[in-house]
Amino acid sequence: MRAAWGTQRAFAARRGAFHTRGAALDYAQEAHAGRSRQADGAPFMLHLREVASLLYDAGAPDHLIAAGVLHDVIEKTGVAGSELRKRFG
């Protein structure tokens, strides 16, 4: 992961899209609280930050970065897709 990624809030603010990206990061952080990656025991959020960083570097729009951050919420936490649609569109 890039060292320049910094904090979640700094990343979200880089293009003035704090609300969408920041809200997705906050939601994912809460949904995956206490979870670790099976492969190496690292906090699960590390994977989601890596996804967000890759999408950002590729020039993806804000809504796609948010979707990348949220991509494991339904599968790994049991949150319904309707809940994510209600919150994030």
Structure tokens at 87: 């919150």
CA distances from 67 to 3, 8, 16, 40 (A): 22, 15, 17, 24
Domain annotation covers residue 54: yes
Domain annotation covers residue 62: yes
Domain annotation covers residue 3: no
Residue-level pLDDT, tens digit, the chain, 89 residues: 444 444 455 554 554 455 788 889 899 999 998 888 888 998 888 888 999 999 999 999 888 999 999 999 988 898 999 998 888 88
Domain annotation covers residue 12: no
Residue 55's pLDDT is 93
Which domain covers residue 78, as residue numbers? Answer: 18-28+42-89
Domain annotation covers residue 24: yes
User: How far apart, in Å, do the first and last CA atoms of the chain sit?
Assistant: 28
Domain annotation covers residue 63: yes
CB neighbour list of residue 33: distance below 8 Å, 6 or more residues apart: none
CA distances from 85 to 16, 47, 76, 80, 82 (A): 22, 22, 17, 9, 5
